[in-house]
Amino acid sequence: MELQKKPSLILRLISIVRSRKTESLLLRDLEKEVGFVQKWNYMAVIEKYPTIFHVLGGQADRSPPAVTLTEKAKCIAASETKARIQMEPILVRNLRKLLMLSVDCRLPLETIESIADELGLPSNFKNSIILKYPQFFKTNEIDGREYLNLENWDSSLAVTAREEENLESTMHFGLSGRAKISRDGNFSGPFAFRLSFPAGFRPNMSYLEEVQRWQKLDFPSPYLNARRFEAADRKARKRAVAVLHELLSLTMEKRLTSGQIDGFHWEYRLPARLLLCLIKHHGIFYITNKGEKSTVILKEAYDGSRLMHKCPLLEFRDKFMALAGRNDGGS
């Protein structure tokens, strides 16, 4: 079982247990909830985290064994409702922005479902969010495929996280005008990205000069329709980097798998050679590996392995991870 899978298993099992009227789940019913293969992963989680899960019954008494939450875990779980309430306006805003990035202001519902956990959406988000806000969202079917559509464009949302950071930040990276070339590639300007080169990377002056030219290059907003631009144009290529940056910014942990990103390929008009684009801009994106299951991380969101800004749902989940004896720091 992969390390990064364990928190999601813990959280899903907590949700399953809490959904029962008795707030306990018979172990024999676990397979019905998660399937035969996954059952063994969940059994391992129950055994490994006794600070969260407690097994009742069994051979000592004649009742069938069942899993429940420990008293400390129940106290933490009670705060989930508050976290969900705080998350709702964030989720509505981010869903609207995801749709606004698309050329037709719509996305296949399955594409959104593929990153639902990364966005922080509840399992019943179609009913609890989409249907709750008909002024923002509408679903329809096109060629047998269900789509989520944006009902109204909001220009106030057509501002990227990069632009907001540039407005709010008091930091000034590098030097502009005729000053010396920045050694770290950072540059103060309205079209610049924050860069963090990999450890051990020593760019020469020619490379840094090219980086600065790229940092100065103006480009269209990711919220302008991609059909208006020629994909081969330098400014359009830089805009594609900005689209990827914005997509990652809308997730809770500022990370997605390459497969999840590829699900947005057509609607966002992403580069044909997506992996090459990500590798080329290694100062902006970190890729865990180059395989099919690689994870793409927005570097500027992290201080080492620590996610610098956490939403209410991540803060809630961190309490369980702390109880489990894990301190992932959002990594």
| Mean pLDDT, range 11-32, rounded to an integer | 93
Q: Decide if pLDDT at 173 tops 60.
A: no
| Mean pLDDT, range 223-243, rounded to an integer | 94
Residue pLDDT, tens place only, 43-72: 999 999 999 999 998 766 678 999 999 999
In a shared domain, residues 39 and 178: no
In a shared domain, residues 188 and 293: yes
In a shared domain, residues 183 and 297: yes
Q: pLDDT at position 183, please?
A: 87
In a shared domain, residues 288 and 161: yes
CA pair distance 54, 323, nearest whole angstrom: 13
Please give the residue range of the domain that contains residue 226. 156-307
Per the domain annotation, does 96 fall within a domain?
no
Ranges 86-100, 152-166, 284-298: which has the least confidence? 284-298
Contacts of range 146-153, beta carbons closer than 8 Å, 24 or more positions apart: 146/108, 146/109, 146/110, 147/106, 147/107, 147/108, 147/109, 148/95, 148/99, 148/106, 148/107, 148/108, 148/109, 148/112, 149/99, 149/105, 149/106, 150/96, 150/99, 150/100, 150/105, 150/106, 153/100, 153/105
Residue pLDDT, tens place only, 277-316: 999 999 999 999 755 678 999 999 999 989 999 999 999 9
Q: Decide if pLDDT at 105 tops 70.
A: yes
| Mean pLDDT, range 164-169, rounded to an integer | 78
Q: pLDDT at position 292, please?
A: 60
Q: pLDDT at position 293, please?
A: 76
φ/ψ of residue 311, rounded to 5: -80, 165
Q: Decide if pLDDT at 327 tops 90.
A: no
| Mean pLDDT, range 109-132, rounded to an integer | 95
| Mean pLDDT, range 25-36, rounded to an integer | 94
Q: pLDDT at position 187, please?
A: 87
* Mean pLDDT score of the chain: 90
Give the domain-ending residue among 58, 78, 98: 78
φ/ψ of residue 306, rounded to 5: -95, 125
Q: pLDDT at position 122, please?
A: 92
Say which CATH number the domain at 20 has. 1.10.10
Per the domain annotation, does 55 fall within a domain?
yes
Q: pLDDT at position 269, please?
A: 95
Q: Decide if pLDDT at 198 tops 80.
A: yes
Q: pLDDT at position 145, please?
A: 95
Q: Decide if pLDDT at 2 tops 70.
A: no
Give the domain-ending residue among 47, 78, 109: 78
Q: pLDDT at position 290, please?
A: 58
Per this entry, what is the length of the chain? 331
Per the domain annotation, does 104 fall within a domain?
no
Compute CA distances 315 → 154, 161, 221, whole Å. Answer: 29, 21, 31
In a shared domain, residues 173 and 277: yes
Per the domain annotation, does 102 fall within a domain?
no
In a shared domain, residues 287 and 199: yes
Number of domain units in the chain: 2
In a shared domain, residues 28 and 163: no
Per the domain annotation, does 331 fall within a domain?
no
Alpha helices in the chain (DSSP H): 5-19, 30-34, 36-48, 71-77, 80-101, 109-114, 116-119, 125, 161-168, 205-216, 234-249, 258-262, 265-268, 274-280, 312-323
